Amino acid sequence: MRKLVTILNNRSYFFLAVMLIIINIVIFNMTVSNPDYEKLRFETIVTSDNSFWFQVYYEDELDFTEDCSVAQNVNAGDSAIYFEIPIEMDINNLRLDLGYGNNTIIIHDMSIVIGAENFDLELDRVVSQEIQNDLIVKLDDPDGLVICTNGDDPYIGIDISSYDSIERYFAIIRIRTIVCAIMYCLIVDLFAILAVILVSNKSIQDEIKRQKLYPEQRILVLIVFFICLSGGIMLSTKYCPDEYARFILTDYIFRTGTLPIGYEQEVMIPGWGFSYALRPYLTSLIGAAFMRIASVITENSNVLVTMSRMPSVIATAFTCYFCLKTGNEIFERRIASFSFAVITCFVPQVMFCGMYLNNDSISLTAVAMGVYFLVRGYKLNWNLGSCIGLAAAFALCLLSYYTVCLWGAFACGFCIISCLVDKTIDNKVIFIFKRAVFIAIITICFSGFFFVRNALLHNGDFLGIASEELSRQELIEQGQTLVQYNPGAANSNSIIDMLLQNHAGWIVGTIRSLIACFGYLNIPIPDLQYGEYYALIVFVTIIFAVIMFFKKQNELIYLIFANLTLSSIVVFILSVIQSYYRDYQSQGRYVIIVVLLVGFIFGIVADNLSIVTFSDSDIVSFKNRLMKNIVAATIIFLWILQFIRIWFESMTKMII
């Protein structure tokens, strides 16, 4: 209540909040109520001996009016014609008016197109629709509807609501319109937060307040959550790599309420001969729990798929949360924390992974969480709370991707170095040993169940790797044809050859797909947009190098930078090795933790370019405040703008 009173007493914040609410309401209403947001396209091919006037009416009821119609003159001969009709969400009927007088018209291939979806109107079903008395209609063959007119107002009525596929797609369009309206509002709010930070001259305050998120930071976390949720509602499974393979496991746990052994036919990935149940599947467990909760209300398949994606949605929001928390602990300016979180989370590939069921999002969260507790442990002399938090991060790494676990090795190095340089710790060797044992025990408590169970079920194979290969071999021996792995070793003489062949195609593919390459790496963004990202990253990296060379940073900055840099290099090397010896996939999501390093570099640049000390009595104009943050603000603005462009130009291609 006190915080609410404080906000209400601050006229500028209160005014901004009211303005944002009004703007959001206006944008939402304009988007949802706009009948031209999508177009329905009626297409057909007609053959006629004479010219005639072809008019299409569209309404819910049969009370057709001229305002709800489109028309054109059709010439004699063969004509391919189409009409664009605004989708008013209650269209159920079409009426085709076919001119006046005596005509013989043949209609072929009648269809409705909505976006990229094509819905055929079967001609034999059209015959059974409402037909005016002075019209003779017959179907000589499935490809031609012969119509003989002999009256003043001949027409055919078509009830498109009888086509379930069209009705379902209309429902999807309704959802899409609402979700896009929410997206527009979130984007406006995002830029409003940036404006608030720009005009604010406040540094991050004392240690107690650093541990809490500031109001604009909480809003940023919610924005990330709702953007990912919007994608989770709209994205089609066919564009989400490996989601089906993970969903069959999630669905099995949801339906049966039991954990699979790993060899059940229901959880086998078609064509691959193994199941993800042999590897850590924490995301599937969480997704199944959300599905079970949702099933109390509805069994709708689309809702259940969205619920299965909630682990990735929540994980991406937590990544933003931990980036902000880490930034508050390390940086002096709020814009630096904001930069760290925005640059990390608004990488399009990170957001995309946050919209469907996968292990990549939770692995990124695990490292972001671990970095935060490294900072807390460094500052609090490794108290028990920071050790438990770090152990939880280690457990999440183990339960996501094994390649991410090597981050833990560098985290251990961080812990040892921080203890050795801490002058407040006596008997350093004993202290380090006790803390190491404590963290190891907590990590085992959090994650050991899966590995112990795997070892008991699969003859000591606690990682599940050998069992995966055994499963494939058994099915091959039974005569099943499986997809064969395609290692780089089969196409290259050495790892260097693999990396450098085809103009360094593997390296370029990995970098591009780390930034933005959606679907099964078949929906890239334009080359120009890749170039813009490269230019921004190179520009900021040069500034970062200059800052690190000329300005000494505190010890914590160097340790975190070293941790993120070394772990990024090792994850990249592991991805190279896997591609060479197994599947030759230049997947950016396999090295997704690299975005934390990029975000951290941007945060350091924003912090060092923005620090200006003012006394409490100084009155700083808006212009001065803006100029002190202009470089950081411009970079953040361009980064967000890039994401918005990619969302509406590329990512919407994957909508259901």
pLDDT value for 1: 47
pLDDT value for 118: 82
pLDDT tens string 337-349 = 999 999 999 999 9
Least confident range of 58-72, 322-336, 483-497: 58-72
Tokens of 254: 């949801």
Beta strand spans in 75-220 (E): 77-86, 93-98, 101-114, 117-120, 135-141, 144-151, 155-159
Average pLDDT score over residue span 173-192: 80
Average pLDDT score over residue span 493-511: 89
Model confidence at 3: pLDDT above 60: no
The residue among 83 and 284 whose pLDDT is bigger is: 284
Average pLDDT score over residue span 470-490: 83
Please report which confidence band the pLDDT of residue 182 belongs to, taking 50, 70 and 90 as the band edges.
Answer: confident
pLDDT value for 50: 85
Least confident range of 63-77, 135-149, 367-381, 406-420: 135-149
pLDDT value for 137: 77
pLDDT value for 10: 58
Residue 597 CA to residue 601 CA, distance in Å, equals 6
pLDDT value for 613: 40
The residue among 640 and 15 whose pLDDT is bigger is: 640
Please report which confidence band the pLDDT of residue 209 belongs to, taking 50, 70 and 90 as the band edges.
Answer: low
pTM (two decimals): 0.82
Give the number of residues written for the chain: 656
pLDDT value for 430: 93
Please report which confidence band the pLDDT of residue 634 belongs to, taking 50, 70 and 90 as the band edges.
Answer: confident
The residue among 393 and 69 whose pLDDT is bigger is: 393
Cβ partners under 8 Å of residue 314, min gap 6: 225
Element (H, E) at 592: none
Nearest to 648 by CA among 217, 310, 301, 348: 348
The residue among 58 and 390 whose pLDDT is bigger is: 390
Contact between 462 and 451 under an 8 Å Cβ cutoff? The reply is yes
Q: What percent of the chain has pLDDT over 70?
A: 89
Residue linked to tokens 């640059």: 343
Q: Which domains does the chain have, with CATH numbers?
A: 40-162 (2.60.60), 488-612+620-654 (no CATH)
Q: What percent of the chain has pLDDT over 90?
A: 40
pLDDT value for 103: 81
Model confidence at 196: pLDDT above 80: no
Count of C-beta atoms within a 10 Å radius of residue 489: 16
pLDDT value for 83: 87
Contact between 226 and 355 under an 8 Å Cβ cutoff? The reply is no
Please report which confidence band the pLDDT of residue 68 belongs to, taking 50, 70 and 90 as the band edges.
Answer: confident
Least confident range of 51-55, 283-287, 394-398, 417-421: 51-55
The residue among 468 and 371 whose pLDDT is bigger is: 371
The residue among 124 and 522 whose pLDDT is bigger is: 522
Nearest to 347 by CA among 508, 178, 525: 525
The residue among 654 and 384 whose pLDDT is bigger is: 384
Contact between 140 and 108 under an 8 Å Cβ cutoff? The reply is no
Please report which confidence band the pLDDT of residue 283 belongs to, taking 50, 70 and 90 as the band edges.
Answer: very high
Please report which confidence band the pLDDT of residue 445 belongs to, taking 50, 70 and 90 as the band edges.
Answer: very high
Average pLDDT score over residue span 42-62: 83
Count of C-beta atoms within a 10 Å radius of residue 104: 13
pLDDT value for 440: 94
Average pLDDT score over residue span 25-43: 74
Residue 202 CA to residue 613 CA, distance in Å, equals 10
Phi, psi (5° rounding) for residue 28? -60, -50
Average pLDDT score over residue span 525-537: 93
Residue 449 CA to residue 583 CA, distance in Å, equals 29
Q: Which of 4-13, 50-59, 233-242, 368-377 has the highest mean pLDDT?
A: 368-377
Residue 162 CA to residue 258 CA, distance in Å, equals 40
**Average pLDDT value for the chain:** 85
The CA-atom distances, in angstroms, between 441 and each of 130, 418, 435, 456 are: 74, 21, 10, 20
Taken in order 508, 514, 516, 520, the sign of the CA dihedral is positive
Average pLDDT score over residue span 387-399: 94
Specify whether the backbone of 340 is left (phi greater than 0), alpha (psi in -120 to 50) or beta: alpha
Model confidence at 619: pLDDT above 50: no
Model confidence at 2: pLDDT above 60: no
Model confidence at 612: pLDDT above 50: no
Classify burial at 423, counting beta carbons within 10 Å of its beta carbon; exposed 0-12, middle 13-18, buried 19 or more: exposed
The residue among 383 and 160 whose pLDDT is bigger is: 383
pLDDT tens string 265-276 = 899 998 888 999
